[in-house]
Amino acid sequence: MKPHTKPLAGLRVLELARILAGPWCGQLLADLGAEVIKIERPEVGDDTRTWGPPFVTDAAGNAWGAAYFHATNRGKSSVAIAFEMPEGQAVIRQLAAEADILIENFKVGGLKKYGLDYESLKQINQRLIYASITGFGQDGPYAARAGYDYIIQGMSGLMDITGEPEREPQKVGVAVVDIFTGVYTSTAILAAVRGREISGEGCHIDMSLFDTATAILANQASNYLVSGKSPSRLGNAHPNIAPYQVFRVADGHIIVAVGNDGQFQKFCAALGATDIAANTDYATNAQRVGVRLALQAELEPFLVQKTRSQWLEALETAGVPAGPINRIEDVFNDPQIIHRGLKLDLTAADGSKVSGVASPIVINGERMSAASPSPMLGSGQAQWTSK
């Protein structure tokens, strides 16, 4: 599959979004072949251009934005417009009139005063798919509030189930709610594109960080809804499976992910723990979950006798799922990641280079990543390329 035949080639996306959730969605669509024009404020641009160090420099040694900005804006063009001004609003309306999709993450009603809300733009483009991303959605008692990933992680219960039980609640190491919201938004947009093929009309998509964070509680939410008991922090243990956790070994730690009773028997055999394997208190997963701490205490003395590499080799041979805990440096030196081409080295038109992480989507053998890096502020033109 050649770059110009990517699945979303020909779709035009107008991005009035900043920080992470909206830009992540826009980058994903750009990776899949859509043309994305990112509207930024003159002089300052997207807030994340300054969220460093570290910073990327261009071929001339000038600042080209923080690494954070480059993580979520490749494949786009940048147009600097003061949309608070009538002339800026006119430019955006002109672009919106010919766009397929618009992504925005302003507060509820924030664009209405500029005539750039869905109802206003629908009048000039009935086929426009308008995706709004907010903290709490377009309605409800919290609709007017600003939404921040960190706060949403706390409000959604995600932090209450993350971390060690005896320590304070812990956020996830990346802004996972923003990222998931961006991915969910892209799915909603593609569903709307399909719906437009049938109806001939666009729509307004209402995406909420709080909704998304609640949705991705997954089995933990179901555990509560079925049992009536709020899940608690278990550190690196799993609420529904045991042993499925981190274990200390002679030179560090490994992850052991025993997913069924047969694997548990294999795990015990690899450890030489015949008494544990024969203990009827550990016969089924449900039993093991109920006595996880006692089981852990019995397993630990076996595991500390060998090194990480020794155990990983032995457990792989035994057919027991296990893995290392890598630093990010280790990840990008991992032979599988190298083979799959997850590290991107992109070059701009002026020769400036920036490294990044490729899209995880592969279609017909081609990795769906945009070929150009994140744009210089205001380097694009306020017009679409010809279809």
Active site residues: 178
Reading the block at residue 52, the tokens are: 């460093």
Instruction: Round to whole Å and give the CA distance between 183 and 194.
Output: 17
- Tokens at 166, concatenated: 């005896």
Tokens matching residue 198: 């049938």
Burial of 330 per CB tally in 10 Å (0-12, 13-18, 19+): exposed
| CA–CA distance, 350 with 221 (Å, rounded to integer) | 50
Those residues with Cβ within 8 angstroms of residue 271's Cβ, 6 or more apart along the chain or in another chain: 299, 302, 303
Instruction: Determine phi and psi for 191, rounding to 5 degrees.
Output: -65, -40
Evaluate whether 6 touches 368 at the Cβ level (below 8 Å): yes
Place of tokens 């799993």: 238
3-state secondary structure of 123: coil
- Cα 285 off chain centre by: 31
